[in-house]
Structure 1
Amino acid sequence: MSLKERIAEDMKAAMRAKETAKLGAIRLLMAAMKQREVDERITLDDAAIIAITDKQLKQRRDSLSQYEAAGRADLADVERYEIEVLSAYMPAGLSEAEIDAAIQASITETGATGPADMGKLMAALKPKLAGRADMGAVSAKLKIALAK
């Protein structure tokens, strides 16, 4: 079953169970997916859906930190729940050792020698690690590896 089909089935199950909070989170994800399909006139594959889900998660995390800073526990709880629901559609995260190994392999493959090759390396790493690792953290690790 593709990720898109799984999300659709989960949406139907949430409707049947009358889980309004879960249904709302899934509907927002489905709307973002549909918007991208219509805008670009494409059919999304699992990688594109993971990218959309990752973007939705990032937005929720940003909102969560803002709500917590403002002392709005009620809204923060809603964001936490939506993060939990959306996280179920993400692939398992990579360990630090696996990320380091992927960085070293990409450096070897591309023949990168210094910070000037950062863009080339990030372009090679992004398809491999997207949705499975925080790309900001990967970028920081990459800078350290290239500085050596």
Structure 2
Amino acid sequence: MTDTRARLTADLKTAMLAREAERVGTLRMITAKIKDADIAARPAPPLDDTALTAVFRGMVKSRREAVELYRQGNRPELAAKEEAEIAVIEAYLPQQMDDAALAAAVDAAVVASGATTPKDMGKVMAALKAAHGVALDMGRAGPLVKQRLGG
């Protein structure tokens, strides 16, 4: 069992004992999503922590989109529920770079890859992923790389 899975199981037990119904629901939803991802990855072994990070980021992304739609539809109670789920899911993501560190990482990757035009964006993104792995949210890095390359 990976560290993330063990932590998730322990957190679920703690939330159940504390009778935190909303947190228990969110944690159960996370474990169900992990099981679905494990099944989809078969016959490969269960997902490791790096792959789980991608699953969690996808969950957060879909909830952020839902929050925007709920706000547009004047449904603040549903938006608040989604935001509470985001907070629980983000607890299992690695610490994100702040804006200054992200900008510095992008600048370093642009220099390291020798990129000069927006056509070189793939090279820069590959350099970022190789250098920073799961600590980097590629969704935040993409627009910044595009801006740096004049796109």
Tell me if TM exceeds 0.5. Answer: yes
Q: CA shift at 1:12, angstroms? A: 1.4
Residue 24 (structure 2) aligns with: 23
Residue 114 (structure 2) aligns with: 111
Residue 54 (structure 1) aligns with: 57
What count of residue pairs does the alignment treat as equivalent? 147
1:100/1:22 CA distance change after superposition, 3 Å: same
TM-score (structure 2 length as normaliser) = 0.84
TM-score (structure 1 length as normaliser) = 0.86
1:63-96 deviation digits (Å, cap 9, x = unpaired): 1111122122222221121112112112222122
Residue 14 (structure 2) aligns with: 13
Residue 121 (structure 1) aligns with: 124
Q: What is the distance in 2 between the residues matched to 1:98 and 1:74?
A: 35
Mean Cα deviation higher: 63-72 or 103-112: 103-112
* More relative contact order, 1 or 2 (CA 8 Å, 6+ apart): 1
Over aligned residues, Cα RMSD in angstroms? 2.1
Residue 147 (structure 2) aligns with: 144
Q: Is the 8 A contact 1:50 1:131 kept in 2?
A: no
Q: Is the 8 A contact 1:91 1:131 kept in 2?
A: yes
Tell me the percent identity.
35
Mean Cα deviation higher: 18-27 or 96-105: 96-105
Unaligned 5+ residue runs, structure 1? none
SS at match of 2:110: helix
Unaligned 5+ residue runs, structure 2? none
Q: Is the 8 A contact 1:57 1:86 kept in 2?
A: yes
